[in-house]
């Protein structure tokens, strides 16, 4: 089945090129973790920033005096900078990986080139996909709410059953359109319409590919949990490595789809 072949090919890309993956991702991810330690030292508290001033019974002592407006402002600024830095780091790695696979742009050292124009373009396309999904979900939510109001409790169960095929359709549609991301990363931008036309007839292939990814992700998470329970000291390190691995495989799925449906590459 082509979908399974695309999935295994994507996994193989990461496993076979693990040294290059390490060169592409180690420094950016390392820099982000250094920033996290600095931010935490300056008063960043994820729990309190997330829950707000009223969280945890209004006790802001964990933020080192952030109960004052000035302290809260510093915490909010740190949180914002952390999100921006984290997103920039993620896109830095992703764009570099796309270019490595599709253009054979091998890393020449331990610091991959940061291509600001491509990173910003990638972010813009990602934001476009998210906004498109949000707009399309509005009528769905309205219809679903009316359906539940009319049908009562029985409507909730029926709606949940209908949600499964709808979710599958949305997931496959997203991947059909998301090939605009690797296209932008290699400097050959596509429109949403071009991406949709190019992937016509790929529903079953992408579904099988995503199902394979789901099974792999489940197996990896279970392995991380068991290993963390047996050797707790390795829990954080193993979890980080697993997250990076799964993330690169997911990015490789998009890369493979672009190579097969746009560049007409074989995967044999």
User: 7 pLDDT exceeds 90?
Assistant: yes
- The closest alpha carbon to 39, from 65, 67, 63, 56, belongs to 63
* Exposure on the CB side of residue 67, measured as CA atoms within 13 A: 10
> Which of the four pLDDT bands, split at 50, 70 and 90, describes residue 64?
very low
198 Rama sector, left if φ>0, alpha if ψ -120 to 50, beta otherwise = alpha
The C-alpha atoms of residue 266 and residue 195 are separated, in whole angstroms, by 18
Which H/E stretch holds residue 210? Answer: helix 203-230
Helices (H), 104-185: 116-151, 153-177, 180-185
Q: Using an 8 Å Cβ cutoff, are 180 and 189 in contact?
A: yes
User: 48 pLDDT exceeds 50?
Assistant: no
For a pLDDT cut of 90, what percent of the chain falls above it?
Answer: 53
Which H/E stretch holds residue 33? Answer: helix 18-41
Query: Quick one: pLDDT at residue 227?
Result: 87
* 241 against 100, higher pLDDT: 100
Give Cβ neighbours of residue 252 (< 8 Å, ≥ 6 apart): 10, 11, 13, 14, 97, 101
Please state, in angstroms and as integers, the Cα–Cα distance from residue 21 to each residue in 24, 208, 213, following that order.
Answer: 5, 25, 19
| Residue 224: both structure tokens together | 């991380």
Query: Quick one: pLDDT at residue 233?
Result: 77
Query: Quick one: pLDDT at residue 59?
Result: 41
Query: Quick one: pLDDT at residue 49?
Result: 41
- Annotated domain spans of the chain: 2-261
The C-alpha atoms of residue 9 and residue 15 are separated, in whole angstroms, by 10
The C-alpha atoms of residue 179 and residue 199 are separated, in whole angstroms, by 9
The per-residue pLDDT for range 147-168, each reduced to its tens digit, is: 667 766 666 677 777 778 888 8
The per-residue pLDDT for range 73-92, each reduced to its tens digit, is: 777 788 888 889 999 999 99
Q: Which segment of 51-55, 70-74, 206-210 scores lowest on mean pLDDT? A: 51-55
User: 2 pLDDT exceeds 90?
Assistant: no
What's the average model confidence in pLDDT over 120-144? 88
Query: Quick one: pLDDT at residue 68?
Result: 55
Query: Quick one: pLDDT at residue 66?
Result: 43
User: 44 pLDDT exceeds 70?
Assistant: no
> Which of the four pLDDT bands, split at 50, 70 and 90, describes residue 51?
very low
Q: Using an 8 Å Cβ cutoff, are 3 and 204 in contact?
A: yes
């Amino acid at each position: 089945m082509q979908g399974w072949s695309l999935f295994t090919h994507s996994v193989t890309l990461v496993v076979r090129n693990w040294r290059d993956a390490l060169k592409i991702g180690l420094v950016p991810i390392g820099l982000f973790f250094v920033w996290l330690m600095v931010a935490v030292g300056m008063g960043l508290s994820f729990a309190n920033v997330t829950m707000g001033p009223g969280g945890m019974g209004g006790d802001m002592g964990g933020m080192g005096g952030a109960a004052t407006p000035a302290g809260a402002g510093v915490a909010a600024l740190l949180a914002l900078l952390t999100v921006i830095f984290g997103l920039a780091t993620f896109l830095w790695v992703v764009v570099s990986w796309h270019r490595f696979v599709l253009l054979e742009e091998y890393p020449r050292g331990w610091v991959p080139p940061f291509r600001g124009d491509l990173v910003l373009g990638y972010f813009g396309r990602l934001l476009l996909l998210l906004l498109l999904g949000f707009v399309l979900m509005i009528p769905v939510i309205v219809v679903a709410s009316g359906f539940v109001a009319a049908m009562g409790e029985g409507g909730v169960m029926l709606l949940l059953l209908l949600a499964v095929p709808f979710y599958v359709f949305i997931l496959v549609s997203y991947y059909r359109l998301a090939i605009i991301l690797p296209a932008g990363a290699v400097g050959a931008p596509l429109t949403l319409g071009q991406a949709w036309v190019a992937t016509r007839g790929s529903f079953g292939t992408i579904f099988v590919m995503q199902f394979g990814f789901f099974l792999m992700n489940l197996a990896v998470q279970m392995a991380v949990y068991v290993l963390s329970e047996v050797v707790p000291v390795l829990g954080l390190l193993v979890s980080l490595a697993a997250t990076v691995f799964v993330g690169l495989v997911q990015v490789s799925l998009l890369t493979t789809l672009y190579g097969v449906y746009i560049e007409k590459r074989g995967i044999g």
